[in-house]
Amino acid sequence: MFQLTLRRRGISDQAVLRTMEEVPRELFVDEADRGDAYRDSALPIACGQTISQPFVVAYMTEQLQLQKSHRVLEIGTGSGYQAAVLSRLAGQVLTVERYRKLADTARTRLEKLGCHNVEVMLGDGLDLPDTVGSFDRIIVTAAMEQIPDNLIERLNVGGVLIAPVGPHQGVQTLIRLTRTVAGIERKELVDVRFVPALPGIAREL
């Protein structure tokens, strides 16, 4: 049923569909929500954040056109679910979260699931240290009013960045940027709703 819903909504990449089937979403939601883990809806997680709707996870992953050679950056670890999906399709994943509690929980889950190519980092994805380097793919899973130049600069040539861009409260548009030798190509994809990307490491645990 889970795969069928995703197919019906237009996901056709076999590797993405298989991965969505393989990653146990019930391990990434609160215990009370386990029964709803395979419904196509976002669910609340700790720290007032959300785990994204499966369709949106599958759609963004499909748009990234991942290869095993890719180094991927995710901003907004949340539950770690999207990172687990990325880990099966990419080479290396660095995922950044501003809440220590979410970062720690996600790290433990991902280790248990054997996602050894994922590094969970506590930090501000809008202000990353230079030492994190550059990426083939960047996925932002929190709403940004605009995409910061310093993030675009981290994309390798041939690289793709996907981010929800728009007002923090309300509807955003998923934007796909592709870096070519000639410059940056921009495409508007679909409307989405994400919790906001906020600056700094969260003061609450």
Cβ of residue 183: shortest distance to ligand SAH, in angstroms?
Answer: 26
- Contacting residue, 15, 171, 190, 198, with ligand SAH by CB under 6 A: 198
Residue with Cβ nearer ligand SAH (16 or 142): 142
- What residues does 43 pair with on adjacent strands? 51
Q: Please say whether the beta carbons of 131 and 121 come within 8 A.
A: no
Catalytic machinery residues: 52
Quickly tell me which residue has 């819903």 as its tokens: 5
Instruction: Tell which one of 56, 81, 161, 177 touches ligand SAH (CB under 6 A).
Output: 81
Looking at the DSSP bridge assignments, the partners of residue 38 are: none
Which window, 14-22, 44-52, 130-138, 165-173, contacts ligand SAH (CB under 6 A)? 44-52
3-state secondary structure of 151: helix
- Judged by phi (left if over 0) then psi (alpha if -120 to 50, else beta), residue 86 lies in alpha
Residue whose C-alpha is closest to residue 81's, from 34, 27, 2, 14: 27
Closest CA to 58 of 103, 25, 105, 96: 25
Count residues contacting ligand SAH (CB under 6 A)?
A: 24
Which CB atom, from 190 or from 198, has the smaller least distance to ligand SAH? 198
Backbone angles phi, psi at 32, to 5 degrees: -65, -20
Q: Which uninterrupted H or E stretch holds 110?
A: helix 100-112
Task: Kindly indicate which of the ranges 17-25, 63-71, 79-87, 111-119 contains the residues binding ligand SAH, using the contact rule CB under 6 A.
Answer: 79-87
Q: Pick from 16, 17, 23, 49: which binds ligand SAH (CB under 6 A)?
A: 49
Q: Does 51 bind ligand SAH (CB under 6 A)?
A: yes
Q: Smallest distance from the beta carbon of 162 to ligand SAH, in angstroms?
A: 12
Please report how close the Cβ of residue 141 comes to ligand SAH at its closest, in angstroms.
4
Note whether 93 and 159 are within 8 A (CB).
Answer: no
Binders of ligand SAH among residues 104 to 133 (CB under 6 A) are 124-126
Pick the closer one to ligand SAH by CB: 95 or 185: 95
